[in-house]
Structure 1
Amino acid sequence: MVLVATAVPALAEGGDPCAGIDTNLTDKRAREYAHLIVDAFSKDLKPSERFKPSDVEVGSFLESDEWSAVSASIPTADMAMFFFQEVGGKKQFKDVWGGIAEASEAPQLIKWAEDLGAPRNLATCFADQVTFDDSADSPFGFTVDLTFSTKAEERLTALHEEVVVSASYYGDPSEKGKEFVDDVGRFDLGTETVQVPASPGIAEISGNQVGESDLEWIEGRPNVNVNVFTARISGDDNLISCDFIDGPLDDVIQSMPVALHCTLIEEEVDAELKP
């Protein structure tokens, strides 16, 4: 299972899909679930990949009766939803769901959670947390046209490998944002990641990671950096070198779909800055 960042909630119109759910993420709960996630995952990793509770970032909390779920990221994967059931006074890890889904897929997500044993209200709230409204147009979305060298496509197909398109939004900080810049003096607006087949085609970045209200933290319009790499289904290493994007988002939108060509790293083809 591939764990990637969750999307903007948009399950249904009217009513609160999380009504009756305890969503109060306290510091105590964050620490508790960080330890639970380490106990469930770290011990099965290679020694070089094992992690500590301090490496776990818990983003949200859901609880109904003896069932609970938290969205969290670990060093080896991005944000995902981890499910637990309390049995005999102890919380037991049940399963993890990672990814983003369209609002139309909410019924399947609810069924998945209920099949685990989670109550209906928790399953419904979970589905709301990890779906986005595919009918909503974002002014920050764009598309890229992925192509592959013959060698790259043949190798990735043989390995049943997929690719990840990662779009990181950023900008020069406004006065309000200067206190929160990263190591290179930029204000980070967030990253959206999508996973697609390793074959020629269009990959869509929704832009839902960024909202109009976020622009108050930067001067002018956002920039975006886009990188493409293998999803590491077949192994621990990235296998491809791809063209990349780094610059004004408006230029990317005007040029879409932006062509990004990928080759095997061993082909030693220089990647190009686009658009």
Structure 2
Amino acid sequence: MRMTACFTSIVIVLAATAAPALAEGVDPCAGIDTNLTDKRAREYAHLIVDAFSKDLKPSERFKPSDVEVESFLGSGHWSAVNASIPTADMGMFFFQEVGGKKQFKDVWGGIAEASEVPQVIKWAEDLGAPHNLATCFADQVSFDDSADSPFGFTVDLIFSTKAEERLTALHEEVVVSASYYGDPSEKGKEFSDDVGRFDLGTETVQVPASPGIAKISGNQVGESDLEWIEGRPNVNVNVFTARISGDDNLISCDFIDGPLDDVIQSMPVALHCTLIEEEVDAELKP
């Protein structure tokens, strides 16, 4: 398991368990409320501040505006949000509603390998979370290292309400395009492109236009390709509509352009998508 966060309030132990893994061909988030509204984002930012900031030194305390809420999962009286705070990387914060009030339960930080999914599900269920929420959470924080290369990563696609409604009505899908590149080595300079970069190849995946994790396998790049560049690869990631319903791209999404290692360290990287007509500025991630 890759631990990318430093949440000092928790200790995560993955013990052997017989809990079932995710079934092939089944949507692990079916029936889960994933609609992250602005109101919800503000509510959970305050809840996270209440849970963490009060125990910090005055100089280390943070405000709701310092909390970045990226995604939401809800089932019954349980919910979880993927969010970051100034003192840590992204984590999944779990809450239970008791007596009409949401109570913080625990936080998970990091990415789990596919073989650890049963333990991840059990961890959430041991908190008291319902099985469907635990299963969806496990899918969102897991990554299949055995199937993909060391150059693979995940992104968390998040759509505005207007974008999701429009794309659903049009039966549209989205394409995630990942282009790998690097500064050419002496060997690669002869083959660099017109801006002086060495192209390592592009991988695209087409997925439904709904919130969820998209996985880039990284199989486009091999270890032997690294001799053509200096250091480690960079990656540029863009998201656009698959143009099933028409010739034009309909969405504007956050994008990635930088060191691949930073992307892997931060995955799943949240990419927000809105309709172009909403005129929301896209952000460089992670």
**TM-score (norm: length of structure 1):** 0.52
Q: In structure 2, do the counterparts of structure 1 residues 139 and 118 end up closer, same or farther at CA, with 3 Å as the change threshold? A: closer
Q: In structure 2, do the counterparts of structure 1 residues 265 and 171 end up closer, same or farther at CA, with 3 Å as the change threshold? A: same
After TM superposition, give the deviation of residue 41 of structure 1 in Å: 60
Question: 2:143 touches 2:154 (CA, 8 Å); kept in 1?
Answer: no
For 2:177, what is the secondary structure of its paired residue? strand
CA displacement, residues 82-120 of structure 1 (integer Å, 9 cap, x when unaligned): 999999999999999999999999999999999999999
Q: In structure 2, do the counterparts of structure 1 residues 251 and 234 end up closer, same or farther at CA, with 3 Å as the change threshold? A: same
Q: In structure 2, do the counterparts of structure 1 residues 10 and 30 end up closer, same or farther at CA, with 3 Å as the change threshold? A: farther
Q: In structure 2, do the counterparts of structure 1 residues 106 and 258 end up closer, same or farther at CA, with 3 Å as the change threshold? A: closer
After TM superposition, give the deviation of residue 180 of structure 1 in Å: 0.4
Question: 1:3 touches 1:97 (CA, 8 Å); kept in 2?
Answer: no
Question: 1:159 touches 1:234 (CA, 8 Å); kept in 2?
Answer: yes
Q: In structure 2, do the counterparts of structure 1 residues 212 and 156 end up closer, same or farther at CA, with 3 Å as the change threshold? A: same
Q: In structure 2, do the counterparts of structure 1 residues 218 and 71 end up closer, same or farther at CA, with 3 Å as the change threshold? A: farther
Aligned pairs, number: 275
Matched, 1:36 2:47: yes
**CA distance, structure 2, for counterparts of residue 206 and residue 166 of structure 1:** 12
Q: In structure 2, do the counterparts of structure 1 residues 271 and 197 end up closer, same or farther at CA, with 3 Å as the change threshold? A: same
After TM superposition, give the deviation of residue 231 of structure 1 in Å: 0.1
The sequence identity of aligned pairs, in percent, is 94
Matched, 1:126 2:126: no
Question: 2:253 touches 2:271 (CA, 8 Å); kept in 1?
Answer: yes
After TM superposition, give the deviation of residue 137 of structure 1 in Å: 3.4
CA displacement, residues 212-265 of structure 1 (integer Å, 9 cap, x when unaligned): 000000000000000000000000000000000000000000000000000000
Question: 2:255 touches 2:285 (CA, 8 Å); kept in 1?
Answer: yes
Q: In structure 2, do the counterparts of structure 1 residues 27 and 112 end up closer, same or farther at CA, with 3 Å as the change threshold? A: same
For 1:8, what is the secondary structure of its paired residue? coil
**CA distance, structure 2, for counterparts of residue 183 and residue 9 of structure 1:** 51
After TM superposition, give the deviation of residue 198 of structure 1 in Å: 0.1
Greater CA deviation, 103-112 or 42-51? 42-51
Greater CA deviation, 31-40 or 216-225? 31-40
Question: 2:70 touches 2:270 (CA, 8 Å); kept in 1?
Answer: no
CA displacement, residues 32-70 of structure 1 (integer Å, 9 cap, x when unaligned): 999999999999999999999999999999999999999
Q: In structure 2, do the counterparts of structure 1 residues 184 and 236 end up closer, same or farther at CA, with 3 Å as the change threshold? A: same
Greater CA deviation, 98-107 or 253-262? 98-107
Q: In structure 2, do the counterparts of structure 1 residues 59 and 272 end up closer, same or farther at CA, with 3 Å as the change threshold? A: closer
**CA distance, structure 2, for counterparts of residue 170 and residue 214 of structure 1:** 10
**TM-score (norm: length of structure 2):** 0.50
Alignment partner, residue 108 of structure 1: 119
After TM superposition, give the deviation of residue 19 of structure 1 in Å: 43
After TM superposition, give the deviation of residue 10 of structure 1 in Å: 24
Q: 2:81 aligns with which of 70, 80, 85?
A: 70
**CA distance, structure 1, for counterparts of residue 140 and residue 153 of structure 2:** 23
Greater CA deviation, 117-126 or 10-19? 117-126
Question: 1:10 touches 1:131 (CA, 8 Å); kept in 2?
Answer: no
**CA distance, structure 1, for counterparts of residue 244 and residue 86 of structure 2:** 16
Q: In structure 2, do the counterparts of structure 1 residues 135 and 117 end up closer, same or farther at CA, with 3 Å as the change threshold? A: same
CA displacement, residues 176-231 of structure 1 (integer Å, 9 cap, x when unaligned): 00000111100000000000000000000000000000000000000000000000
Alignment partner, residue 174 of structure 1: 185
For 1:219, what is the secondary structure of its paired residue? coil
**CA distance, structure 1, for counterparts of residue 137 and residue 38 of structure 2:** 21
**CA distance, structure 1, for counterparts of residue 172 and residue 256 of structure 2:** 23
For 2:117, what is the secondary structure of its paired residue? helix
Q: In structure 2, do the counterparts of structure 1 residues 241 and 87 end up closer, same or farther at CA, with 3 Å as the change threshold? A: closer
Q: In structure 2, do the counterparts of structure 1 residues 188 and 269 end up closer, same or farther at CA, with 3 Å as the change threshold? A: same
Question: 2:16 touches 2:119 (CA, 8 Å); kept in 1?
Answer: no
Question: 1:2 touches 1:99 (CA, 8 Å); kept in 2?
Answer: no
**CA distance, structure 2, for counterparts of residue 274 and residue 80 of structure 1:** 16
Greater CA deviation, 89-98 or 160-169? 89-98
Find runs of 4+ consecutive structure 1 residues off by over 6 angstroms: 1-134
Task: Report the RMSD for the aligned CA atoms in angstroms.
Answer: 19.8
Greater CA deviation, 49-58 or 6-15? 49-58
Question: 2:111 touches 2:267 (CA, 8 Å); kept in 1?
Answer: no
